Structure 1
Amino acid sequence: MHQIKKAEVMLGHSHKVPGCAKELKGFVPLPVSDDIVDLNKEAYLCMLAAYRLGPFWKKAAQVLTSLISRASSIVMLRAVYPFDCSSSCDGLQALTSNDNTADATHVVTDLTVSPTAPPPASNSKWHRVDKELSLHMSEEGAWLYVALANHEELRAAEGLVVVNISVGERPPTTSGSSWESRPCGIWMLRGKLSAIDEAVTEVDVLFGVDAVDPRLQRTLMQSPLQLEALPEVPVARLSILHGRAPISDTPILRVGESGEFKILQICDMHMVPDVGVCKDAIDAHGNSLPESQADPLTVKFIGEVLDRENPNLVVLAGDQLHHDIRDSLTAMLKAVAPMIDRSIPFAVVFGNHDSEGIYALERDKQMSILQNLPFSICRPGPPNVDGVGNYCVQILAHGQSSLPLSTLYFLDSHGQIPGTAGYDHIKQSQIDWFTETSQTARMARGEGNGNGRFHLSLVFIHIPLPEFGDSNLIIGNGHRGEPTEGPSINSHFYDALAKENISAVGCGHDHVNDFCALLPQRAQENDNGTPYHRPWLCYGGGTGFGAYCSYGKGPFQIRYHRRMRVWKINTSTGSLKTWKRVEYNTGRVGELMLVENGVVVEPLNNQAEGMRCVVN
């Protein structure tokens, strides 16, 4: 078993691991201790799982860890690069990589478009960008091929590297260099490699006139590739990376000087790789509007609310992507760009549609992209827990303090059960992970020892828990515009939330529900004899214009305005307040105090806005 060779006091979840990408940070809660301890098997395996995601296991070194031994702080363990993965631990073989090219630095030496096989091999190796340029909507396909070479070998051989790419008309020639023509209107400029930052190192393809690329050091070509495609096929546009994109720092969440922290919850954006179609929008007076482009309206609405609220964090609460779309990356980047453009941290949970369809990116691949974007706090979560994206983030005190004042939990609520119309449920491994994480955190911050501090915790999921459809719900305010569509199996995650004193649960999925409600007080008690704390159950309401925002058919159809939910935590007063931002409304809608002085506020009466609680 490896021994800790050095201990440092490192506080919080967001330490930077030198030389490693963000996905390599494997944090494991440990009991508070002032001693340097053995690296236990659970921690070792967690770090190995984290290191699977990166190319850094070739270099050997001692294992360094960081421990927190200060009261009221979460204790975290980390492995610091480099790390010896050539040995085993307790008979468990360490994970290793056979990919000798994983950490090689490549540059682009050529590119072309071909309908079938790649061009003949040369000193460079051809790689196909795995996106059919007409998104499988034309009879004849076409693919982008990129030739790559190791930049050190190329420099030694004085070979040529691509230093610029253009699409459309031939650019003017400068400095004696000559642009070379490639299919589909591509022009490339090559030169000798001097500095890596001058070389094109990656070429990607995004789709649609409204595509954006907020990834660091990316340039998205404004002119599309010149393909002989049908009018309904979204245009294909090249995205170019020069040099090596820097690794983004993980934001540290902190309350303001007043102890406040504001969260904007965005649900059901349903982005697509193109502008999409909005079929059920209404004007300020409720009159139906003609069909229009969907995604530009969604982006505009989100931008307006972001600028009005200026939140500390945005939570994308599932179904960022529409189902059965043909390029997940294009839609995903459109969904997160409004936050990145404004330097606002964001977290993501997956919805049932996000990875639905034969062309969709799997959730683990989406998370790998998301967690490396600027201002992302997304994490894949423990590999031994069902789903992708089960993680928690702490909100720290103002300034440089490492005192955690609030905790946010994010869980994968899965999707539709294959071959059925039903939805999957929160798994026992997720409940166990949540309970253990919550209890460890509460123990670390000394909760129950009379420290007098309020600590509010929220949980975000996509598909509502079965309790959202309970006929006995006491609605504080909001609409129930449609029946709750949740899992048919109740795995009793709600009970675990109640026992762990979660203040509220935010979800999406049912677009025309936006109520906040409580279950009636139960007779059950905690181990200390106090009644269970009941979390508020709050829908966010549908945001995306490409998603449905109506219920019923024909003359019985009722349309709703798009909306988002705002949460404001005040850690000084132990309060949690919420309201909504709704189309055409400049003020707060449905403002409601959920928790005050650390205690759940009981609704005075049923304040449902126009729709009674109906359960079918």
Structure 2
Amino acid sequence: MTRKIVRTLSQVAAAAIFTFTVLFFLDRNLDVLPNAIHEYMPQHHVGTVITDITIVTCNSMNPFSSCKADAEWTRINKDLFLGKSLLTSGYIHFQKKKEEDIAQGDKVVVDVKVGRLDPSANGDGADPHEEWEQRPSGLWVKLSSKKHASDSEKAVTMVDVLFGEDAVEVREGWSLVGTALLIDSSIQAHFTVRRGAHKEPPKPQPRVRDDKKFRILQVSDLHLSTGIGHCRDAVPDEYNGGKCEADPRTLDFVNKVLDEERPDLVVLSGDQVNGDTAPDAQSAIFKYASLLISRKIPYVSIFGNHDDEGTSARAAQMRLIEKLPYSLSQAGNPDLPGVGNYYIEVLAPGSSKHSAITIYLLDSHSYSPDEKHYPGYDWIKPSQIEWFKETSISLHEHHKEYTFHHINTAFIHIPLPETVIDPQYRVGAVREGVTAPSFNSGFRDALVERNVAFVGYGHDHANEYCALSTDNSTGVPHTSRPELWMCYAGGSGFGGYGNYDGFIRGMRVWDFEMNIGRVKTWKRHEYGERTEERINEQTIVDGARLVGAPEPKPPPSADAI
């Protein structure tokens, strides 16, 4: 009996110790589990400077190891291993102070480098008031005790980390340190710093050119990753003499079309980020943004069903995108479903304050909330439709003041249900089934009611056609009464699928001639004999009125019409 009691007490004690260990581990390490979703996007810390930086690593098997920040430290909530290490996590920690609290003799970070060797060995340490100090993972921090060091242009005011060998920095006042941190990770982690005060990024107002023209490039389904990504269904499967690398090839294509078409605005119509291969969405977003910012091209964006399938929610991504140079993207009304329900106006030429083109952008969400009754994809909600109609009505009186032709347009990611059942006339290639919502909330009717000329979308990568939606009330389509053009952009990224009938990645161009109220559209392809030609060019609006299809055609095959 005594032995049994002792054994029972031993078991209870062991269980208690185990429970304590688990709870201790969870308390100290729960926030570093690889599946935890962090919405960290660095924000501006007004009037603060960085006084120290370090890197803290922890091991999930060691209950006494913690990556939590102590009281005087702030942590950047991005695991340096991106959750890919089975046991190890790592985070950047930093200390900061308000500039007015910096006392004589306090140290301020004025430089950061990464490497195995002490930077002072190369002569970068001659100033007696500045010294390099080593931190883990190859990080070197230069601290200055000079008077007014916090006021200098060298003072570091914020830090961050970006990932991938193709990482780029696009924010005003920020710069990458250079060499990746010396950690044993499958994806490179790059330190980046901001110096000086926060700068408001440029946000130019889109305006019709003096020649009365305006051009939009619609780029859809980039499917960018953290890192270079992996090509899917590439045609051809080799590129520039080597194996296809998804993101570099995708961005080369975007670069080429930007240079040749010279758009006045770029619309990114969803799935810019390939969520499941982009554990750091920020690094993926910066890659496409760098192309537009370097050319000073304003751009707007909406989300697709893949953008937030990683570790960063739509709201967090949009907070970042809103703050980027030349981005006109907006989170929109917080009371509406989704993120990114907004509009922008393209003003008339010169100094006019009149709108020439209104562009509505709406979040078409992701997957059906009611798979049992409406399987497949989500739909534009009634409150979004009501917002669109009320907004359009409120803008109408101002639009009438424009002496030329005002044109309304719209962009969403997931196609309208009418794309499946309504259009009898198409211009362009049909290569796959339409994956529109199975529930029709009536957004097409609202677009027609408010005189929207066309809606552009993405989602179905291999479909590249424009379809004419007509008055179908009698069951017989009437080309004399065209009501809405519905056009696919086609997928442009090699990180997304493309395995339909030799599909070639493409983008759609929308060309406006406002003096005569004309809109033309065409496609540009990445590969093949016609890469520099306009493909399936057509006029869809003339005299500010929709143009019908030239002749009725039967449902096309997989070949382009």
- Give the TM-score of the pair, scaled to structure 2: 0.82
Counterpart for residue 278 of structure 1: 231
Unaligned runs of 5+ in 2: 1-42, 59-65, 475-479
Structure 1 pair 575–188 and aligned structure 2 pair: CA distance change class (3 A): same
Of the three residues 540, 547, 554, the one matched with 2:496 is 547
Equivalent of 1:571 in 511, 514, 539: 514
- CA displacement, residues 152-210 of structure 1 (integer Å, 9 cap, x when unaligned): 101x3441110000011332323233211111010110113241532111111111000
Q: Over aligned residues, Cα RMSD in angstroms?
A: 2.6
In 1: Cα distance, 2:364 partner to 2:194 partner: 35
- Cross-structure match for 1:605: 551
Residues 481 and 606 (structure 1), Cα distance of their counterparts in 2 relative to 1, 3 Å cut: farther
Structure 1 residues 26-80: Cα deviation after superposition (integer angstroms, max 9, x where no partner)? xxxxxxxxxxxxxxxxxxxxxxxxxxxxxxxxxxxxxxxxxxxxxxxxxxxxxxx
Distance 1:213 1:318 in 2: 22
1:536-559: CA deviation from partner (whole Å, max 9, x where unpaired): 0000000001111123xxxxxx22
Relative distance call for 1:121 and 1:463 in structure 2 (3 A) is closer
Q: Tell me which amino acid in the other structure corresponds to 1:433.
A: W
Matched, 1:313 2:265: yes
Letter in 2 for 1:425: W
Distance in structure 2 (CA, Å) of the matches to 1:182 and 1:607: 69
- Contact 1:502-1:533 within 8 A present in 2 as well: no
Contact 2:360 2:410 in 1 (8 A): yes
Counterpart in 2 of 1:90?
none
Measure, in 2, the Cα distance between the counterparts of 1:102 and 1:580.
Answer: 40
Q: CA 1:202–1:532 in 2, change beyond 3 Å: closer, same or farther?
A: farther
Q: Larger helix proportion, structure 1 or 2? A: 2
| Equivalent in 249, 257, 271 of residue 210 of structure 2 | 257
3-state DSSP of counterpart to 2:512? strand
Query: Do 2:369 and 2:378's aligned partners in 1 also have CA atoms closer than 8 Å?
Result: no
Query: Of residues 172, 179, 189 in structure 2, which corresponds to 1:223?
Result: 179
Cα distance in 1 for partners of 2:77, 2:68 equals 16
Judging changes above 3 Å, is the alpha-carbon distance between structure 1 residues 598 and 320 closer, same or farther for their aligned structure 2 residues?
same
Are residues 1:413 and 2:364 paired?
yes
Aligned residue in 2 for 1:338: 291
- The correspondence for 1:466, drawn from 417, 427, 438, is 417
Give the corresponding residue for 1:580: 523
Q: Secondary structure at the match of 1:573?
A: coil
- Residue 244 and residue 102 in structure 1: after superposition, are their counterparts in 2 closer, same or farther (change >3 A)? closer
Q: Deviations over 1:199-247 (max 9, x none)?
A: 1111111110001111111111221000123xxx111111111112311
**What is the match of residue 109 of structure 1?**
51
Please give the residue correspondences for 1:352-501 in structure 2 after superposition, counting only pairs within 5 Å: 352-357=305-310, 359=311, 361-417=312-368, 420=371, 422-446=376-400, 453-470=404-421, 472-501=422-451
The change in CA–CA distance for 1:419 and 1:453 in structure 2 (over 3 A counts) is closer
Distance in 2, Cα, partners of 1:433 & 1:121 = 46
Cα 1:273/1:609, change in 2 over 3 Å: farther
Determine the C-alpha separation between the residues in 2 that align with 1:418 and 1:175. Answer: 63
Question: Within 1, Cα distance between the matches of 2:169 and 2:328?
Answer: 18
The residue aligned with 2:542 is 596
Give the whole-Å Cα distance in 2 for the aligned partners of 1:532 and 1:477: 17
Alpha-carbon deviation of 1:102? 8.7
1:282 to partner: Cα distance: 1.4
Name the amino acid aligned to 1:148: K
Q: Secondary structure at the match of 1:278?
A: coil
1:520 alignment partner in structure 2: 470
1:452–1:305 distance in 2 versus 1, CA, 3 Å: same
Q: What per-residue deviation string (whole Å, max 9, x for no partner) do you get for residues 407-442 of structure 1? A: 101000000136846211101111011101111111
**Closer, same or farther: CA 365–121 of 1 in aligned 2, 3 Å:** closer
Counterpart-to-counterpart distance in 2, 1:608 and 1:221: 58
Please point out which of 298, 302, 307 is paired with 1:349.
302
Deviations for 1:430-479, whole angstroms, at most 9, x for unmatched residues? 101110111111123337xxx76311111001011111112x41334111
Within 5 Å, give how 1:57-206 maps onto structure 2: 104-116=46-58, 117=66, 125-139=72-86, 140-154=88-102, 156-168=103-115, 169-171=117-119, 172=122, 173-176=125-128, 177-192=130-145, 193-195=149-151, 197-206=153-162
| Structure 1 unaligned regions, length at least 5 | 1-100, 525-530, 552-557
Alpha-carbon distance in structure 2 between the residues aligned to 1:608 and 1:576: 25
Paired residue type of 1:495: D
Q: Which amino acid aligns with 2:48?
A: H
1:321 aligned partner, one-letter code:
V
**In the alignment, what sits opposite 1:527?**
none
SS for the counterpart of 2:323 is coil
1:561 aligns with 2:512: no
Matched residues in 2 for 1:120 and 1:516: separation? 54
Question: Structure 2 vs 1, CA of residues 418 and 439 (structure 1 numbering), >3 Å: closer, same or farther?
Answer: closer
Find the aligned partners of 2:552 and 2:142 in 1 and give their Cα distance.
67
Contact kept in structure 2, 1:408 and 1:457, CA below 8 Å? yes
Q: Does the C-alpha gap of structure 1 residues 190 and 596 become closer, same or farther in structure 2, counting only changes over 3 Å?
A: same
CA positional deviation for 1:334 = 1.0
What letter corresponds to residue 560 of structure 1 in structure 2? Answer: F
What's 2:455 paired with?
505
**Which letter does structure 1 place at the counterpart of 2:118?**
R
Q: Distance in 2 between matches of 1:432 and 1:606?
A: 34
1:101-160 CA-to-partner distances (Å, cap 9, x unmatched) read 9965221111111123359858xx211111111111112111111111222101x34411
- Would the alpha carbon gap of residues 242 and 608 (structure 1) be closer, same or farther in structure 2, given more than 3 Å must change? farther
Relative to structure 1, is the Cα distance of residues 608 and 296 closer, same or farther in structure 2, using a 3 angstrom cutoff? farther
**Take 1:201 and 1:336, find their aligned partners in 2: how far apart are those partners?**
23
Q: C-alpha separation between the residues in 1 aligned to 2:356 and 2:399?
A: 9
SS of the residue 1:414 aligns to: coil
Distance 1:605 1:304, change over 3 A: same
Write the letter of the residue equivalent to 2:468: L
The one-letter amino acid paired with 1:278 is: C
| 1:364-399 deviations in Å (ceiling 9; x for gaps) | 111111111100111111122211111111111111
Determine the C-alpha separation between the residues in 1 that align with 2:268 and 2:189. Answer: 27
Q: Distance in 1 between matches of 2:150 and 2:57?
A: 34
Query: Secondary structure of 1:519's match?
Result: strand
**Partners in 1 of 2:54 and 2:370 — Cα distance?**
41
SS of 2:89's partner is coil
